[in-house]
Chain A
Amino acid sequence: MKNSEIWVAFYTILVREIRRFTRIWPQTLLPPAITMTLYFAIFGNLIGDRIGQMGGFSYMQYIVPGLIMMSVITNAYSNVSSSFFSAKFQHSVQELLVSPTPNWVILLGYTLGGVARGLCVGLIVTVLSLFFTHLALENLLLTVLVVCLTAIMFSLGGFVNAIYARNFDDVSIVPTFILTPLTYLGGVFYSIDLLPDFWQSVSLLNPVLYMVNAFRFGVLGVSDINVYWALVIVSVFIVVLFGFGLRLLNQGKGIRN
């Protein structure tokens, strides 16, 4: 395919993905808005006032970056996993497979579709958080970079999940049993300084901790970890997952006989 044709194919996939999650907005955009509003109201306002300060900020201000990241991670991941698995399930993925669209374009299109939803939900949650607290942006570039890289990483993760998934249970197992615990234990609600040494060390094995803290550093200027390490870790994950996802597509794993 010529470069201009590749661009059209990529743009088509991306637009279709965006159209999909905006068409079903009560399933994709509304739930995180409601859930996060409840988090802000209960954890931030009601309980947070009794917790006092964390990292030099009110508890509400402290958890807002984490909750934004949690929304981005969950939505970027589930957008790609559910969309690609649905395409597999109803065989509409064959529309792409019979076409000359290169596999890397398919992967990129789905990934950026997930990024689009992650960022869209992230923006909604950010706007909602402003009804509850004031957010000062310490480092805009870092904040945008971290949120984008994280969304890319988890979109790729969702793609790999969808490739391996054989039924709808397989699509929900990873988010429920792996992603949610990692996110909740990834410093969204607390600083790891509060943990005993052993659990602090264990927490450092959790990649989500790095992303949440890097994002928090961009917003508030405080972090439990070295932000540059976070960027390195996310970048490495992206390269590995992209390579792995592309290899699976080239092999036709789960999509070709």
Chain B
Amino acid sequence: MTYAIEISDLKKRYGSGFEALKGIDLKVEKGDFFALLGPNGAGKSTTIGILCSLVNKTSGSVSIFGTDIDKDFAKAKKYLGVVPQEFNFNVFETVFNVVVTQAGFYGISRSVAEERAEKYLKQLDLWDKRNDQSRMLSGGMKRRLMIARALIHEPEVLILDEPTAGVDIELRRSMWEFIKKLNEQGTTIILTTHYLEEAEQLCRNIAIINAGEIVENTSIKALLKTLNQETFILDLDSSLPTGWSLPGFSVVVSKDASSVEVEVVKGQSINAIFKALDAISINVVSMRNKSNRLEELFVKLIKG
């Protein structure tokens, strides 16, 4: 089977002696929406840097759509579109030129590049800004510009390195709608993000990297099934009596007694909570997870 990305025993040691990657193995299927998560300094950006040739690997092999980067990096690069974490376009160029120039670097003729630039700038709501210098754009617009630029050669794989950092909620949602559509059309998406709810909602498969090693590589569903315990917050319509407790559960009542945190271990039924509250004539107004489920697992995995 040919994978979109196939990484084998990939190692990277920087000149300072810091070992950023300690021999990672990773496979991303074609058409996947894949999350690469990890704390700062875990090796995510190094991995992405090696994939797109911004970082030289120390050893190991990387194939992109079956093309080994050591054998034909130029061909492998054509499969990839990269949206980096930092803004990395010429801020004095116009929005239109940033995109069209990038197409030129891929050998795409000017007429095709202009057509595609129009298509993607319109889809990303940047067409009205096409003649503005890119430095004049807002942070969110700059992110969208980098997405348009990454798509100009219509890559098979789109790598998004923290694409929604500093982007407001509305824009983030529209950005994800756009990326989801791309994925539905067959583009493989690889995402790194610190917003774990994004990864949970969007991605099918996940790899968690920590200190240069892959500590988990599975589907989001399978990973969430391993969650043994969840903490729920219940908002109540009246205050709990002093000293209230719930046998079999660990509970923390808020200072004003109007809400309660309940830890539910795998296998326990949350009906028991409602029954106990109903018995003292208290209704549950709303209920939510204390933290994102993936976040709980992520913290556990990172802490080892």
Q: Give the 7 A-B residue pairs with the shortest CB-CB distance, closest first.
A: A5-B107, A12-B104, A99-B105, A100-B74, A91-B88, A92-B90, A257-B55
B195 at the interface (CB under 8 A from A): no
Query: Which one, A16, A19, A99, A256, contacts B77 given CB within 8 A?
Result: A99
A195 at the interface (CB under 8 A from B): no
- Is the Cβ of B89 less than 8 Å from the Cβ of A101? no
A-B contact pairs, 26 of them (CB 8 A): A1-B107, A2-B107, A5-B107, A5-B108, A8-B108, A9-B104, A9-B105, A11-B104, A12-B101, A13-B105, A20-B92, A91-B86, A91-B88, A92-B88, A92-B89, A94-B54, A94-B88, A95-B89, A95-B101, A98-B53, A98-B80, A99-B106, A100-B73, A101-B105, A102-B74, A256-B54
Q: In the bound complex, how far is the Cα of B88 from the Cα of A138, in angstroms? A: 49
- Is the Cβ of B109 less than 8 Å from the Cβ of A8? yes
A100 and B49 contact, Cβ closer than 8 Å, known pairs A8-B109, A92-B88, A257-B14: no
A6 at the interface (CB under 8 A from B): yes
A100 and B54 contact, Cβ closer than 8 Å, known pairs A2-B107, A11-B104, A95-B105: no
Interfacial residues, chain B to chain A (CB-CB below 8 A): 14, 46, 49, 52-56, 73-75, 77-78, 80, 82, 84, 86-92, 97, 101-102, 104-110, 149
Query: Which one, B55, B84, B106, B109, contacts A100 given CB within 8 A?
Result: B106
- Digitize A181-219: 1 where CB-to-B-CB distance is under 8 Å, 0 elsewhere: 000000000000000000000000000000000000000
For residue B104, which residues in chain A have a CB less than 8 angstroms away from its CB? Answer: 8-9, 11-13
Q: In the bound complex, how far is the Cα of B93 from the Cα of A23, in angstroms? A: 10
- Is the Cβ of A257 less than 8 Å from the Cβ of B49? yes
Q: How far is the CB of A12 from chain B (nearest CB, A)?
A: 3
For residue A95, which residues in chain B have a CB less than 8 angstroms away from its CB? Answer: 88-90, 101-102, 105, 149
- Digitize A169-189: 1 where CB-to-B-CB distance is under 8 Å, 0 elsewhere: 000000000000000000000
For residue B74, which residues in chain A have a CB less than 8 angstroms away from its CB? Answer: 1, 100, 102
Q: In the bound complex, how far is the Cα of B108 from the Cα of A135, in angstroms? A: 45
Q: In the bound complex, how far is the Cα of B51 from the Cα of A256, in angstroms? A: 12
A87 at the interface (CB under 8 A from B): yes
Query: Which one, A5, A9, A90, A97, contacts B90 given CB within 8 A?
Result: A90
- Is the Cβ of A257 less than 8 Å from the Cβ of B56? yes
Q: How far is the CB of B154 from chain A (nearest CB, A)?
A: 14
- Is the Cβ of B88 less than 8 Å from the Cβ of A4? no
Of all chain A residues, the one with the shortest Cβ separation from B112 is A8
Q: How far is the CB of B136 from chain A (nearest CB, A)?
A: 15
Of all chain A residues, the one with the shortest Cβ separation from B50 is A257
A96 at the interface (CB under 8 A from B): yes
Query: Which one, A8, A19, A98, contacts B54 given CB within 8 A?
Result: A98
Query: Which one, B53, B80, B82, B88, contacts A256 given CB within 8 A?
Result: B53
Q: In the bound complex, how far is the Cα of B109 from the Cα of A91, in angstroms? A: 25
Query: Which one, B78, B90, B149, contacts A87 given CB within 8 A?
Result: B90
Q: In the bound complex, how far is the Cα of B104 from the Cα of A6, in angstroms? A: 9
- Is the Cβ of B106 less than 8 Å from the Cβ of A9? yes
Q: How far is the CB of A103 from chain B (nearest CB, A)?
A: 10
A252 at the interface (CB under 8 A from B): yes
Q: How far is the CB of B101 from chain A (nearest CB, A)?
A: 6
Extra inter-chain contacts (11) besides given A97-B53, A100-B78, CB under 8 Å? A8-B108, A9-B105, A23-B92, A90-B91, A91-B88, A95-B88, A98-B54, A98-B80, A100-B77, A257-B49, A257-B55
